[in-house]
With several copies, the nearest count.
Chain A
C-alpha cells in the first residue's frame, strides 16, 4: 500500500481519518487491529507534517490516545467490577460509532439542502408598501392628542435641561395670543406645519398654549387638519369659505 496516498484527502478531524482507515482496512469498529491502524494513522500524520507543519492539534491528541491504547493492549488485561476483561479500545470504538452515525445523518441532511437553497423567502423588511394609503386621513381629536403627547414627551427631556432657566420665567402666554399667531401665519402661508410651529415655540408652556389655540380654532370650524399617515406631521389648513386674519 502506498502509505502517502491519502494525504490529499480532506478529513474533518481525527475521527474522520480513523473511520476512513477502518473502512479501507475492512475491519470492525469494535475490533480494531490497533497496531496496524495506529501505524497507518501515524504514517498519515508524519506525511502531513513533512508537508505542512500546522497539523491540527486534534490529530496529534488522537495519535497520543492511539499510542496509549496500543501500549495498554500489550499489558495483561484489567478486569472491571463484573470481573470482565476491559477492552482499552472500547471507549474509542464508542466514539467512532457515534461519530459515524452523525456522518450518516449529515449525508442525509446534505441531500435535503438542494431544495432549501433553491427556495427564496421574502425579506421581511419590505412590507412598507402595503401601508401606503394614498388618501390623507381626516384627523380626529385622538390623533391630535397623540401627536401632542409625542411632542410633550420630547419636550419633557428638553425641559429637564431648561429647568433652571424656566424657574426664573414668569412670562404668561394666553390662548388668544396663540390664536392670532396661527391666524397671521395662515393668512401669510395658506397652510401650516403643526410640528414646525411647535418646534418654534420657546418652551413647553408656549407649545401647550399653541395646541389649545388650535383646538379652539377647530371648534370654531375655522381650520381643518390633515395628516398623510399616522405619526406624520399635521398640516393646518383654512376651511373653505372661511376668512382668516
Chain B
C-alpha cells in the first residue's frame, strides 16, 4: 500500500476507533507490516505537529491514539460546560505513584506504604480509567491487584512505562536534598 494512502487510512481509523489502537491491528487491516504502520503514523504525527493542527497523534507503547492538542483546550472545554477540570488530589497522586512503580499491587500493599486507607483514592483512579484490576494475588483472602492503564501513559506523558524515570532517580534526589538540609 502506498504510504500516503496508509497515512490517510490510519487517520480515519484513529478517528473512528477513538481509543488507543494497536499498530498490529492497523497493519492487519491494511495488509501492511508494523514497521510500515509505525513509519506512516510517525510521519502523520509529525505533520500534525508541524502544522500545529487542532489534533495530535500520540504513541502509547504499541498503540496510537488521536486527541485534541492541549493548546486549544480552552475552546474545547467551553463546549462541555459540565466538564470540570478536576485534578487529582494528593492522596490519589500518591496512590497512583505507588501503583505505577509497584504494579501489579494490592490495596493492602498500597496502604502499607502510605500508612492510610486507600479505598477512596483507588476508586477514584478506577473511575478515571487511570488504573484497572489485574487479577487476584495468590495469598490469603485473594486480594485484587491493580495496574496502570494506557490512559495512565497519557497522564504521565510517556509512551511506555519504561520511559518513566527510574525509581532510583527519585531516591537519589532525596538523598541529595537530605544532605543539603543537614549540612
Direct contact of A and B (CB under 8 A): yes
With contact pairs A119-B73, A123-B18, A205-B182 given, residues A229 and B157 touching in the complex (Cβ less than 8 Å): yes
What are 29 A-B contacts defined by CB distance under 8 Å? A15-B114, A58-B115, A95-B115, A101-B170, A108-B97, A110-B88, A118-B73, A120-B16, A121-B16, A121-B19, A122-B15, A124-B18, A125-B150, A126-B18, A128-B150, A128-B153, A130-B76, A131-B77, A131-B157, A131-B158, A145-B162, A146-B160, A149-B162, A149-B167, A149-B171, A149-B175, A150-B161, A154-B102, A205-B182
Verify if A7 is at the interface (C-beta below 8 Å from B): no
Q: Of A62, A102, A229, which one neighbours B101 at CB under 8 angstroms?
A: A102
Closest 10 CB pairs of A and B: A13-B116, A126-B18, A124-B18, A118-B73, A149-B171, A105-B97, A106-B93, A120-B16, A118-B70, A15-B115
Complex: A27 Cα to B182 Cα, angstroms: 7
Verify if A104 is at the interface (C-beta below 8 Å from B): yes
B-binding residues in A (CB < 8 A): 12-16, 23, 26-29, 56, 58, 62, 95, 97-110, 112-113, 115-131, 145-146, 149-150, 152-154, 156-157, 204-205, 208-209, 212, 229-231
DSSP class of B's interface residues: helix, strand, loop or mixed? helix
Complex contact A106–B182 (CB within 8 A):
no
Chain A min CB distance to B16 (Å):
4
Complex contact B97–A106 (CB within 8 A):
yes
In the complex, how many residues of chain B place their beta carbon closer than 8 angstroms to a beta carbon of chain A?
59
Verify if B98 is at the interface (C-beta below 8 Å from A): yes
Complex contact B157–A208 (CB within 8 A):
no
A-binding residues in B (CB < 8 A): 12, 15-19, 56, 65-70, 73, 76-77, 85, 87-88, 90-91, 93-94, 96-98, 100-102, 113-117, 129, 149-151, 153-158, 160-162, 165, 167-168, 170-171, 173-175, 178-179, 181-182
Of chain A, the residue at the smallest CB distance from B159 is: A230
B contact residues around A108 at 8 Å (CB): 97, 165, 170
Complex contact A12–B178 (CB within 8 A):
no
Complex contact B18–A102 (CB within 8 A):
no
Q: Of B96, B154, B160, B165, which one neighbours A106 at CB under 8 angstroms?
A: B96
Complex: A225 Cα to B2 Cα, angstroms: 38
